[in-house]
């Protein structure tokens, strides 16, 4: 199983953890995303195609809003 995890300080100065990993739900291959922050924890499962579309959208938005 491929995973990515990272802990960082967000824009509000809070410690946040992100964990992304391959997953399977009811026979659908996809990705599970966990975000843990002081005020809220979030979990979402998306299919592989949905993950590709979210990645494309984030890439386009971040490229124009936050150039490095």
Walk me through the domains of the chain, giving residue ranges and CATH numbers: 3-65 (2.30.31)
Q: What was the pLDDT predicted at 17?
A: 98
Helix (H, G, I), strand (E, B) or coil at 1: coil
Give the pLDDT confidence of 22-47 residue by residue, as tens digits: 999 999 999 999 999 999 999 999 99
- Cα separations (Å) of 64 from 12, 30, 67? 22, 27, 6
What is the band of 67 on the pLDDT scale with cuts at 50, 70, 90?
low
- Of 66 and 63, more confident: 63
């Amino acid at each position: 199983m491929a995973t990515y995890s990272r802990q960082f300080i967000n824009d509000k100065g809070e410690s946040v953890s992100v964990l992304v990993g391959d997953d399977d739900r009811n026979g659908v291959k996809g990705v599970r995303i966990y975000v843990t922050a002081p005020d809220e924890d979030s979990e979402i499962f998306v299919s592989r195609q949905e993950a590709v579309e979210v990645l494309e959208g984030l890439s386009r938005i971040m490229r124009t809003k936050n150039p490095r």
